[in-house]
Amino acid sequence: MKFWLATANTTEAEELLSLGVFEGIITNPTIVAKEEMNPVKLFKALCSKADSLYYQIGDGTFDAMMGEADRMVSIDPNKMRIKVPATPAGLRVIRALTEQGSIAMATIVPTAPLMLLAVAAGAIAIAPYSRMIQQAGVSSKIEEVLRMQQIIDAQDLDVEICTGLYNVTDLSFYAAHGVKSGFIFPNDIRAFIQQPLVQEACDAYRDDLSHIKSFV
């Protein structure tokens, strides 16, 4: 399973990317706005920390969305990827980015039919916004994500769902059902790696390790 770090903070990025478990950085407008910085300057700094980075453009006209996407991709075409809202104009943007060799993720994709259209446009990943689905009363977040994954498997589609992993239960459940990718916020990954049983076992070996070192 691939993991993406959901932050735009350079200090957090440096700290948590060093764990060696993340593909790179993924953001949305809320994450970027917290840094109170010009996004081009911010992502230039983040490019020095990560190998792959997703930036989410705003919705709007095709020309406006393409302009923003091209501006961000130009920071580093080998590292920058674009999250595109799955609006009618957004589908056109996904196609245009794909044809020019850029990587696009369709975001705000609440239903499986819209996912299929985004894949047809060229999206290599889908952010389903599963919490939004549940809050709107459409279905539980798990049901719609699993429906999407079942279609991907049945159609043998070359695309990955990238869903939020907010606790260890989410992580294990989605992994067991074939979801290939997910994003994790800094506080959540810190909680995931704090395993009392691991520390307890390490502590139990301390005396023996000290004894071994006495022979070195």
**Which of 2, 44, 79, 83 does the annotation list as catalytic?**
83
Token reading at 165: 């992993």
Q: With H, G, I as helix, E, B as strand and everything else as coil, classify residue 5.
A: strand
Contacts of 34 (CB under 8 A, 6+ apart): 8, 9
Residues 6+ positions from 160 with CB-CB distance below 8 Å: 2, 124, 125, 126, 152, 180, 181
Q: Are 38 and 211 in contact (CB under 8 A)?
A: no
Whether 183 and 4 have beta carbons less than 8 Å apart is answered as yes
Instruction: Let me know if 83 is a catalytic residue.
Output: yes
The DSSP H or E segment spanning 113 is: helix 112-121
Question: How big is the chain, counted in residues?
Answer: 216
Q: Are strands 2-6 and 125-127 parallel, antiparallel or unpaired?
A: unpaired
Catalytic positions, written as ranges:
83
